[in-house]
Structure 1
Amino acid sequence: MLLTSALVALGATLAAAVTPLELRGNAFVNPDTGNKFQIVGIDYQINGSAGYNPEHGYDPLSIPEVCLRDAALMQALGVNAIRVYNLNPDLNHDACASIFNAAGMYMLLDVNSPLVGESLSAFEPWTSYYASYLNRTFAIVEAFKNYPNTLLFFSANEVIDNPETVKHVPPYLRALTRDVKSYVAKHSDRKIPVGYSAADVRNVLFDTWNYLQCAIDGDEDDISRVDLFGLNSYSWCGDSDFERSTFDDLVDGLHNTSVPVFFSEYGCNESPPRLFTEVASIYGPNMTDVFSGGLVYEYSQEDHNYGLVEVFNNKSAHLLQDYRTLAGQFAKLDFKELQGASPDRSMPKPPTCSRSLIRTSTFNSNFTLPDMPPGVKELIDDGISPKPSGRIIDISDWDVPYTVYDTNWEIIEDLAVQPLDDGEVNRPGTNTAGSSDSDSDSSSDSSDEDDENAGFSLRPALAIALGLPAALLFW
């Protein structure tokens, strides 16, 4: 079994399996190939936001054996990115970051948590904008900035989530973005983009996007501009289509974006079982010129029933039907073509900030931002203390040490992460652990029946009828 203590003792660094991406206008770009990168991701927050408690001594990226289990299952799907919401900067994340890096997956990281003093207030933001809060957000940057697979930081998530929150939040949201970007610029060896993850509240969505992407005084290097814009959207429900889901409205409204736009959450569950038919549109010609992919909500089954995988308190796991359905949709994608497109040479420039960009009368369109709170400039200039630090480390064993069951409760054999070569990014068919020699590559063309069982091609063991209770905490 892989032990945390053993991992800490193994200090040899490894070459990155993934290449750090760059921003070029409204696209994530692989600097080695010059191609636009499409996010094919999953939101990863085991136990949900309510399960985060620093006193527990763990977070979603602090237990190596669990990360091995989940990285192997997501690698089999073809996932190339994960979003992680609630992180403790005081913990060591080297093993988990190294595992996901070797599995060919980037990390999109929130700097906030749901706890008081660790996020920006939606109704009275000035009461939550102070030095100790920013010290905590800077600590997340310090903890993750050295991992090559850290793709970006979200400075906030859904702070503007109803018409009331537009009255005061916008200037504070830009100020917070300014502060986090300033810290990254001062203390990171590479430029890691910082942006916002927005709720899909249509009457203020496009105003929020315009307010955050515009350039104050026309300065394209304005450090308070977001580098990217994520969207948490659940408007595609059941067997919908591009128009009925209003995805067409999103493309029309965001078509001239000057920053990368992508779904930071998607996957409506109003009409179960989920079909994930939106995958074909998100990665099809209707959307890829504007959107840079997205992340399915969510990996683990929680109270709201969005999970792909059910996890238990003994750290075993059970694949749900949504996992298989999503695998079938991902298997239909041509990943070579999807990740081989060149970014648009004539990328839109950011608009100059002005009140005329804002259509909602109650939206705060003041572009004079709050000053940094007392002491924050010194934190940015000198760096926080103590500084968490992360690095890629050697992993001694890639085999998953826990039992994982397929949808029919048959055990998945030989489950392991498949480390990739330098510069490789994960795609369907990369991980064939658990498959027999005669099994076909899941990335190839398949029948509808094959699509339903895409992902792992299992070598079934004894079917076990278990009476495990659902939705237990696995920690």
Structure 2
Amino acid sequence: MASRFMVLGVDYQPGGQGAYNPVNTADPLSNGTICLRDAALMQNLGVNTIRSYNVDPALNHDECASIFNMAGIYIILDVNSPLGGQSIDRTNPASTYNTGYLSHIFGVVEAFKSYPNTLGFFAGNEVINDVATAAQNPQYIRAVQRDLKNYIAAHASRPIPVGYSAADVREVLQDTWAYLQCDNSANGTDPSRSDFFGLNSYSWCGTGSSFQTSGYDQLVAIFSNTTIPVFFSEYGCNDPQPRVFDEVTTLYGPEMTVMSGGLVYEWTQETANYGIITTFPNGSAQLRGDYDELEGKYSQLNLTLIESRNNTATTLQPPKCNSSLISANGFSTNFNIPSPPDGAQALIAAGISSAPTGSIVSVTQTAVQVQVLASNGATIGGLSITSATGANAPGGGSLQTGAEAQRRPRAVLLQFRPPLFMAFWQPAALARWLF
């Protein structure tokens, strides 16, 4: 019987949103030297998943994807970007839902569809952030999910899950999840339905917070009957600093088995002050106290509990889409999804012309080539990645200063990967991925 897979991850966008733009011709997954540095530090930490927000489908990502794959780390990708025409405008979704937009997001699929550690795609991020934006945007989120899944079905060698990342705005949160997880088909195969649901939540802050005061108990109540995996696509309040990450043991504990882990925001220190490492222009880096705190919390996790299955979830069937699922006045109750724009069906059938499609390459350089300092300023020696025996997990390594680090291999089976992806497409086997 397959083990449960939970996300233990970080949001990964070195350089911030400006890391991807037409001027610098780079994105977070295009520099092998930097990816190797970060994969080695993540492997030590116990990270098994990263999320990258803005990627350029025209760039070559083979080296970075292969490095993370070797380290046992999955990748979830946002298909949108902040550049013009590459995302849905939450104030006027119809104006941006066109074949030019679809060409971009299908290009992201083409660039990453062949990597075995591509875990999924986010079709949108916080497109709904209040009742006003919930009037029309839900239909367009489902339309984009439908188009992405139809493109994947036509051009990828395996199903790749597609979902949504929501803002933690409680007045629309439950309705957003209810709208996106319901089934609007006659036979239970609605491609517009979310395969997973991410939540960007920063409600647990400091040592005085708890399961109740953070509102985590409310999240458990909201998602108690979920038929799709739900996890934090961002979490980690940055007050105080360094962060204490007390929520980690609760998130991965017995009170929150309805949730499927989460991604700490974020890996590198940017202007918003959420980073767990600090990077420098020459490629070197230094751990922050946040990294040390997170590693300490990860080391306390009960991996047996994390890998056990939520058997209740496998018996649930998605509700049929109906206005009765929606509670907030002004939130859309229209489940008639917009038809694809002119030319979209031909684009899905033919595929993106001359699209660069990635593939796993041999990783011959495993030792980190740039200097990395511990949080106390001491040089970390012997930093490298090792070939993982499966998805990465906490407790497998220890960084040492002034000496070669010693690591023990992870134990989660790599051959677990195929049913991991199929789980979203086989409801009875949903527990094999995140439940």
Q: TM-score, normalised on structure 2?
A: 0.90
- The 5 A counterparts of 1:117-196 are 117-196=85-164
Partner of residue 396 from structure 2, selected from 430, 433, 454 = 430
Give the distance between the partners of 2:407 and 2:203, measured in 1 at CA: 35
The one-letter amino acid of 1:201's match is V
Give the distance between the partners of 1:173 and 1:380, measured in 2 at CA: 18
CA 175–433 in structure 1, closer or farther in 2 if over 3 Å, else same: same
Offset of residue 273 of structure 1: 2.8
Offset of residue 432 of structure 1: 4.3
Offset of residue 337 of structure 1: 4.0
Offset of residue 54 of structure 1: 3.1
What's 1:250 paired with?
Answer: 219
What's 1:322 paired with?
Answer: 290
Offset of residue 49 of structure 1: 1.4
- The percent identity for this pair of structures is 49
Determine helix, strand or coil for the equivalent of 1:216: coil
Give the distance between the partners of 1:229 and 1:354, measured in 2 at CA: 19
Is the contact made by 1:160 and 1:169 (CA closer than 8 Å) also made in structure 2? yes
Is the contact made by 2:19 and 2:28 (CA closer than 8 Å) also made in structure 1? no
Determine helix, strand or coil for the equivalent of 2:256: coil
What's 1:281 paired with?
Answer: 250
Give the distance between the partners of 1:335 and 1:437, measured in 2 at CA: 27
Offset of residue 347 of structure 1: 2.8
- The 5 A counterparts of 1:39-118 are 39-118=7-86
Determine helix, strand or coil for the equivalent of 1:60: coil
Is the contact made by 1:428 and 1:442 (CA closer than 8 Å) also made in structure 2? no
The one-letter amino acid of 2:127's match is V
What's 1:18 paired with?
Answer: none
Q: Deviations over 1:5-55 (max 9, x none)?
A: xxxxxxxxxxxxxxxxxxxxxxxxxxxx51110110000001111332133
Partner of residue 177 from structure 2, selected from 206, 209, 213 = 209
Q: Which has the larger radius of gyration?
A: 1
What's 1:235 paired with?
Answer: 203
What's 1:353 paired with?
Answer: 321
Offset of residue 201 of structure 1: 0.5
Offset of residue 427 of structure 1: 1.5
Give the distance between the partners of 2:313 and 2:281, measured in 1 at CA: 50
What's 1:333 paired with?
Answer: 301
Is the contact made by 2:388 and 2:409 (CA closer than 8 Å) also made in structure 1? no
Q: Deviations over 1:251-291 (max 9, x none)?
A: 00111011010000000113333110111111001112x11
Offset of residue 431 of structure 1: 3.6
Is the contact made by 2:383 and 2:404 (CA closer than 8 Å) also made in structure 1? no
Is the contact made by 2:383 and 2:405 (CA closer than 8 Å) also made in structure 1? no
Give the distance between the partners of 1:385 and 1:251, measured in 2 at CA: 45
What's 1:200 paired with?
Answer: 168
Offset of residue 439 of structure 1: 7.7
The one-letter amino acid of 1:426's match is N
Is the contact made by 1:44 and 1:84 (CA closer than 8 Å) also made in structure 2? yes
Is the contact made by 1:319 and 1:407 (CA closer than 8 Å) also made in structure 2? yes
In structure 2, the gaps of 5 or more residues are 411-435
Please, which moves more after superposition, 424-433 or 359-368? Answer: 424-433
The one-letter amino acid of 2:191's match is I
- Are 1:372 and 2:340 counterparts? yes
The one-letter amino acid of 1:272's match is Q
Please, which moves more after superposition, 387-396 or 267-276? Answer: 267-276
Q: Deviations over 1:398-429 (max 9, x none)?
A: 010000111111111111111113xx111123
Give the distance between the partners of 2:8 and 2:145, measured in 1 at CA: 25
Offset of residue 126 of structure 1: 0.5
Q: Deviations over 1:123-178 (max 9, x none)?
A: 10011100011011001001101111000000011111122211221111111111
Determine helix, strand or coil for the equivalent of 2:315: coil
Offset of residue 87 of structure 1: 0.2
Is the contact made by 2:148 and 2:162 (CA closer than 8 Å) also made in structure 1? yes
Q: Alignment RMSD, CA only?
A: 1.9
Give the distance between the partners of 2:265 and 2:157, measured in 1 at CA: 31
Partner of residue 399 from structure 1, selected from 367, 377, 380 = 367
What's 1:27 paired with?
Answer: none
Offset of residue 217 of structure 1: 4.5
CA 245–441 in structure 1, closer or farther in 2 if over 3 Å, else same: farther
Determine helix, strand or coil for the equivalent of 2:144: helix
Determine helix, strand or coil for the equivalent of 2:8: strand
CA 345–320 in structure 1, closer or farther in 2 if over 3 Å, else same: closer
What's 2:235 paired with?
Answer: 266
What's 1:23 paired with?
Answer: none
The one-letter amino acid of 2:352's match is I
Determine helix, strand or coil for the equivalent of 2:36: helix
- Are 1:34 and 2:17 counterparts? no
Is the contact made by 1:54 and 1:88 (CA closer than 8 Å) also made in structure 2? no
Offset of residue 442 of structure 1: 12
The one-letter amino acid of 1:72's match is A
Give the distance between the partners of 2:90 and 2:240, measured in 1 at CA: 30
Determine helix, strand or coil for the equivalent of 1:56: coil
Give the distance between the partners of 2:218 and 2:45, measured in 1 at CA: 29
In structure 1, the gaps of 5 or more residues are 1-32, 444-475
More helix by share: 2
